[in-house]
Homo-oligomer: A and B are copies of this chain.
Amino acid sequence: MSLGDEPLRAPALSLRAGRLADSPISYLMTKALAHPELVSLAAGFVDLHSLPVDATRTAALELFADPTAARTTLQYNATSGDPALRLQVLERVLAQDAAALGGGRLGRAPGSVSLDRVVLTAGSNQLLFLVCEALLDPGDIVLCDSPTYFVFTGMLRGMGARAIGIESDAGGMRADALDAELARLDAAGELPRVKAIYAMSYFDNPRSVTLAQQRRSEIVRIARARARTAPIYLIEDAAYRELRFSGDDLPSLFSEPESDDCVIYAGTFSKSFSPGVRVGFGILPPALVAPVLALKGNLDFGSPNLNQRLVSEVLRLGLYEPHVAMLREMYARKRDAMCAALTRELGGVATYVRPEGGLYVWLQLAADIDTGPNGPLFACALEEGMLFVPGEYCFPDPARESRSCMRLSFGVQTEERIATGIACLARAIARVG
C-alpha cells in the first residue's frame, strides 16, 4: 500500500488555531527582515547594548561556584517557581508600594501577602496568557484602554474573547468611561461575560501613559461595585514600572485596600534586565492560584529554574538596582533624542506627550493621514528607510480606532539612528501630506 502519490491533506485545526491570524508583529518583522537597512522604530525591544552581560556572568559564576547549589539550579523546581525569587519579587513590590505611598495610607506589611500567591512565568506575557486561560471562554469580555497593548488583544482574539476599548487619555483609562461601559453591559445583560479589566498601569504600551493616582482607587472600587456573581478582575500589567525617568513612583492597583480578591499584578524582568533570561511574575488573588498553577502544570510544569535562580542571584548580589538605574538614564537620553527630533522635524505636523518612562512615543498626525499598513504613509516611510507601528493595531475595537496615529519606540536604536528615523518619517509625511 503506497499513499505517496496522494496530495498532502490540510490539517483540521482547532477552533483556537483557526482564530489566530498572522500577528501584526510577524508582519512588521517580515518587513524589517526584508529591508535590513531600515531604521526600525517599530520593535518594542530593549537596547541590545544595554543588556547586562557583566551582571549575568557574575551571578552565573556565583551560582555555579558551589556544585551542590548548582545542581539544584539544574533540577526542576516547583510549578510556581523558585521560592527564594518569589519572596524577593513579592518583597520588592511591597517595598515599592510602601515607598510610593510615602506618608499617606499604609501599604501592606511584608508578610501580609502569602507567598503562595506569587507565581513565576516565562515573561509577564505567559502570566497574562495563564490568567486569561483560567478566566475566559469564547465570547467573554475584557475591558482595555483604547489604545492598548496589541499583543494582549491578539491573545484575546486567539481565545475567542472580546476586547472592548475604554476611553483613555493622558491619565490612562477614564474611570467614568469604565463605569459607563459596565453599566451599558449590565443593561445589555452582558455583565456576566465581563471577566476582567486590563490596564498597563505604568508607561503603557503603546503610549507611555501612566494611570493617574486618583483613578487607581476609583477603578478598583468600580470593578468591585459592578461585580455581581463573580469578581471582575483587574489585570495590572506593570511591565514598564521600573523604567521611570522622572517623577515619583505611584502605588499600584495591587496596593489598594480592597484589591486582594480582584487585582492580578503582573511584572517582568524582561524590560528592566533581560528578555533573553525571560523571567516574569504574577501576584494573584488567592482564588486564582490553584487554577493558574494547574494550567501551568499542563503547559510546562514551571518555567526554567536556571533563569529564576539567576535572577534571584542578581537581586541578592545587588546587581539589579545599578543596572536599572543605568537603563533609566540611557532611555531618558533616547527619549530626549526622539522628542528633540520630533520637535525639529515634525513640530507643526504631529503632536505627542513627552513620556516620563517606558519605551514609546505615541504620535498623533493630522486626522486625514492614514497610518495603516496598507496606507500611503506606511509605504512611503519604508521607502524613506524607517518602520513604525500603525496606530490602528492598538485599538481593541475597529469601530473606535484612530487611523492617524502611530507608535514609535526609542528602545532599540541609538540616539543618532533615532534622529535619522524621525527624519525619514518627516520626509514620508511631507510626501503624503
Contacts and interface: CB of A to CB of B under 8 A. Distances in A.
A111 interface: no
Contacts of A245: none
A401 interface: no
Interface string A1-45: 111100011111111110011110110000000000000000001
A25 B275 contact: no
Contacts of A48: 71-72, 75
Given A17-B135, A51-B74, A75-B275, A300 B125 contact: yes
Contacts of A13: 134-135, 291
Contacts of A134: 11, 13-14, 16-17
Contacts of A46: 75
Contacts of A229: 9, 12
Interface in A272-289: 274-278, 285, 287-288
Q: How large is the interface on A (under 10, 10 to 19, 20 to 34, 35 or more residues)?
A: 35 or more
A261 B9 contact: yes
Given A76-B45, A300-B122, A137 B224 contact: no
Interface stretch (A207-215, A303-311, A350-358, A389-397): A303-311
Contacts of A45: 75-76
A243 to B, nearest CB: 17
Contacts of A307: 304, 306-307
Number of copies: 2
A105 interface: no
A422 to B, nearest CB: 24
A311 to B, nearest CB: 11
A257 interface: yes
Interface string A186-213: 0000001001000000000000000000
A158 interface: yes
Nearest to A4: B258
A304 B301 contact: no
Nearest to A227: B9
A77 interface: yes
Given A136-B14, A305-B278, A126 B299 contact: yes
Contacts of A71: 48-49, 51, 53
A12 B60 contact: no
A374 interface: no
A123 B300 contact: yes
A9 B233 CA distance: 11
A230 interface: yes
Contact of A74 (B3, B121, B275): B275
A76 B133 CA distance: 24
Contacts of A221: 1, 3
A87 interface: no
A112 interface: no
Given A17-B295, A276-B304, 14 more contacts: A3-B224, A9-B230, A12-B229, A12-B230, A20-B298, A57-B60, A76-B275, A123-B301, A125-B300, A151-B298, A158-B295, A277-B306, A278-B300, A278-B306
